[in-house]
Amino acid sequence: WIRTRQGPQADEHTPLMLRLSLLLLVGPLDALRVAVTGAGGQTGQHAFRKLLALPEFEPVGIVRSEESKAALVKSGVPADAVTVADVTDEAAIAAALAGCDALIIGTSAKPAPSGETDESTGRPIFGFPNGQPEAVDWLGQKSQIDGAKAAGAIHVVLCSSMGGTDPGNMLNALGRESLPDGSTKGGDILLWKRKAEKYLIDSGVPFTIVHPGGLLNEPGGKRQLVLGVDDERTVGERSIPREDVAEVLVQALRIPAYRGRSFDLRSMNEGEGAVTTDFAALLDELGGRDCDYSLGKMA
């Protein structure tokens, strides 16, 4: 809803652009309250900090531990802008999202070397020490979507990953364990992510789904960005700086045309093409296309 300090009230489904228009017409409004999960991580933290710098937003960073909150506060983030809640705890995440108008989902299971080696390949074996993809990327994201819907959110922006059209993508093998009966358990991160994406699409909540390519820890705002669908790669690299991904997540909240869209996000090499600054025009690259969920496989 819009809680005006002066001027008319608007109902809870008033879109962001109308809210911004009212800001010009009737004076200051309370900012759009946006929750950002994964705010103590990398891409999620970039998005959280960008929102903190924009007066039309009142961001709430949601982190998994008190240690993550303390690190953000030590870096200068106001303590009252950070909430601790584990996304795998359905009740806790619902409480954290209460009163929020929008949500950026920036959580993901994170693989790490287990210390063991695959005897057949000599390669390190990876696991998910802080939660398997089923728990984090499916059940955790489902809880976030349900919580946002219960809060009356008008937009959910989901940061996912490229690779979802290929069940054989090597990322799905990380953390997967073969059992004596020939079945497997664990892993399949892209399959669980894709299941959460489809759940969001079917939820009825206005959405934007972004599939970044390989994430780079390099400065943003220095490259031409490239949109596509279904893991295509016609121009550009298969990677993108995290900060550029965060910028698109934020712009999706500001530009109504991003609602109801699902797309891949990559970049050109730095120095190639023109640096992207017009994010409405960027969306035009899709020509109305969106990712096809009949492709690939879901968990």
Catalytic residue IDs = 161
> Rounded to 5 degrees, what angle do the CA atoms 95, 97, 99 make?
100
Exposure of 149 by Cβ count < 10 A (0-12 exposed, 13-18 middle, 19+ buried)? middle
> What dihedral angle (degrees, nearest 10) is formed by the CA atoms of 260, 263, 269, 274?
-40
Cα–Cα dist 219/221, whole Å: 7
The single-letter code of the amino acid at 279 is F
- The tokens describing 252, both together, are 């999706």
**All residues at 6 or more sequence positions from 162 whose CB lies less than 8 Å from its CB, including other chains:** 211, 212, 213, 231, 238, 264, 266
Rounded to whole angstroms, the Cα distance separating 251 from 47 reads 10
Tell me the one-letter amino acid at 18: L
User: What's phi and psi for 18, nearest 5 deg?
Assistant: -65, -40
Q: Supply φ then ψ for residue 25, to 5 degrees.
A: -85, -40
Decide if 127 contacts 59 (C-beta within 8 A): no
